[in-house]
Amino acid sequence: MHYTGAGREEGPLAHEEAMPVSDPVNSPPSAPASAPDGHLGETILALIQAFLKTGYYTSGHPETQRARAGLYDEVRVYLDGHSEITFIIVADGERREIYLAGLRNDPIPLSSLMLKSMAELFIPKFAEYFERKSLASFSLKSAISQREFEAFVDLMTEPPLAADSPEAARDRLTADLVRLDIVMVSTVFNVDLVGMGRKLPWRIKNILSRLKRDLNLLPLYHNLGATRLAEIHRMVLGDIIRPLRNVKLLSELFLNLDLIGFDLAGFEPDQLEGMLLELLPAELKAPVAAELARSMGDLQQSFEQLQDVELLVRKEYLRGTLQRMGRELLAAGRFDADLFGQLVSDGILRVDDLPPELQERLAEGRLREQFAADPQQYLARLAALPPEPARQRLLAVREELPELVRSGRLPEVAALCAAAATLQPVVDFAEDEALVSATLAAARQRFAGNKDEQTALLDLLAGLGPFGCALLAELLDIDNRYVRRGVLERLQRLGPVVLAPVLAVLPRRGGWFYLRNTLLVLTRVAPTAGETMQLLRRSLSHAEANVRREAVQGFSALPAAEAIPLLLPLLKDPSAEVRQRTLAVLGRHGCVHSTMLTTLQRIVSGGSAEPLLLEQALKTLALLPLPAAQRPVFAGLLGDLLIERELFGLRHKATDLRPELKVAALAALGLIGGDKVPGLLRRFCSDAQPPVAAAAREALRRSGAG
């Protein structure tokens, strides 16, 4: 693949003379099918091949012209929308890799843009051009003209001079760039790399070296006026800062500006720093400053150990950088309390330099440090303070609660909450939504521990008053079953005070599970409260059977006249469990409504088809004051259930009934009574199953015939 005037052309190259197929000058590059960006890979391969063709032939040779035709436009595709693209050679032992920077946040290895066979063939050849010129990198800026591009390719592919030293190669290429007025190409030479004595990331080493070279080289272009020179200065610095978004790399850049800050033509050290800070995105200034503040501590420690003058110079240079950054952040209203606390602590800024609100936050930070050092002593001192100072000191450390919970320092949590409760007016931590949320997150982490830790935390929360109630209410649907049961038990023990916090959480929860657990709590702590009754009525028609079942249970506490009309429709609920619970509650209310009696008759006459429902029906019959007209009906149904009979040619055996069903049926018969009941009961007094026999004798005694 190569370039023609009309664009790309597939197929082998035409040669004036036969060349080996493996020769990288004439082997057509093919784009890898699996490359992350196939078109980019093709463009890079075409650029390398243009270098090879130009170096193999002469600049005006037809093969060279064909290789370079359209190449500038292809490269421009990647320059448009970017300030520049940079090729950087990095040596790792004997292996050399070339990276492409400027298109993404991180440099792209060229080997990732092409097939392995292509990379092994072309990248070493490309690297040779870097070595000829002693180059560490070169950058093509977005404003590069086609004339500059073509001239630069010619310069890069000139044959090396045998006697060229690295310094001579640098000086010759630099002079040629100036002579040909090639401004939109930036070069960094190996002999000019700075920071060789420091362990710098290779990107930072390259950036600093490039800054030093570019800023010192620009004054040599005598045709540049002062205004144009200032524009290019800003462009050069912008091209450096713009692609960097990594806080660590940016901090390394500012931390090592002293390597070049004193050696720039026409620049004062703080002028370079000021321009870079101006170009640094606002959202990155505070994180970079925080990273530099940490580096200040490292430099100070190293200086104390080594007493190296260079470290002292670096420390003072960094102090000036941090002072400038701190003042810029203050002017922009970006108040990071931790950062400015560190700057004040290191003597870089004074407390008086800070606005009042930031001074107040730093004072709170110092109070939190005192609390963390000795919480009990801190809280003990509050008792000796007037109410308002005590209140302010307590509020200053409330944000420590989540960490205390997370680390299991439960006595200190209890002491802090107790201190809040003794103040007048009382400090209610439950009103601070952010504090509740953070403490809740810490509690959830703590509940991942063993059961002893879980129990201790549950007991603590139950004793924290409104704040503890708010946290327990949030935990009502926690996944951990042991913890969830503990939450239910403690909320029920706390009584009606939990009504408001539980109902406050309910609207924020989706699904049915929290609602079901809410009903479990409220029907036990405030069964007749208006809010509970409203929730129960709404829940009877809920789509989830578990919710309906729990709502039915809640109607046990209502007067029968109010509960029965609401519950009767649920005797036809599609869920057997809901119908079973409805029978139980209606039985406790003594309901003998015709719908109730018809339902009971249907269940008993159906036999053991639904054992659980049948058992509940039998237990319910034992509770109901049946009308006289209904007693013989149910006595007959129970007799049919218990006694072996033949129906439609099929024999039904009472022994098919489980013992507990027989026991329930016999108990119901004893309460219903009737002329035929004693004889029926006597038949079971000597039953082979002792529980059945005992139930028959007890029923006979209750019937008055025993």
pLDDT at 157 over 70: yes
Distance CA 665, CA 699 (A): 10
Averaged pLDDT, 662-688: 89
Mean pLDDT is lowest, of 11-20, 66-75, 439-448, 567-576, for 11-20
Averaged pLDDT, 31-57: 72
- Whether the link from the prior residue into 678 is cis, omega within 30° of 0, is no
- Terminal Cα distance for the chain, rounded: 110
pLDDT tier, 151 (very low <50, low <70, confident <90, very high otherwise): very high
559: exposed, middle or buried (Cβ count in 10 Å: 0-12, 13-18, 19+): exposed
pLDDT tier, 35 (very low <50, low <70, confident <90, very high otherwise): very low
pLDDT tier, 413 (very low <50, low <70, confident <90, very high otherwise): very high
pLDDT at 606 over 90: no
As given in the structure block, the two tokens for residue 372 are: 């963390």
Averaged pLDDT, 605-623: 84
397: exposed, middle or buried (Cβ count in 10 Å: 0-12, 13-18, 19+): buried
* 58-104 tens-digit pLDDT: 667 787 788 788 889 999 988 888 888 999 998 776 778 999 988 88
Neighbouring C-beta atoms of residue 179, cutoff 10 Å: 10
**Nearest CA among 189, 172, 191 for reference residue 180:** 172
User: Cβ distance 534 to 551 under 8 Å?
Assistant: no
Averaged pLDDT, 259-274: 80
pLDDT at 23 over 70: no
pLDDT at 17 over 50: no
pLDDT tier, 51 (very low <50, low <70, confident <90, very high otherwise): confident
675: exposed, middle or buried (Cβ count in 10 Å: 0-12, 13-18, 19+): exposed
Neighbouring C-beta atoms of residue 218, cutoff 10 Å: 18
pLDDT tier, 361 (very low <50, low <70, confident <90, very high otherwise): confident
* 375-408 tens-digit pLDDT: 888 888 887 788 888 888 888 888 889 999 999 9
Distance CA 468, CA 121 (A): 70
Q: Which residue has the tokens 């990594």?
A: 246
* pTM of the model as a whole: 0.54
Looking at residue 239, what is its pLDDT?
81
pLDDT at 14 over 70: no
Looking at residue 267, what is its pLDDT?
76
Q: What are phi and psi of 187, to 5 degrees?
A: -125, 145
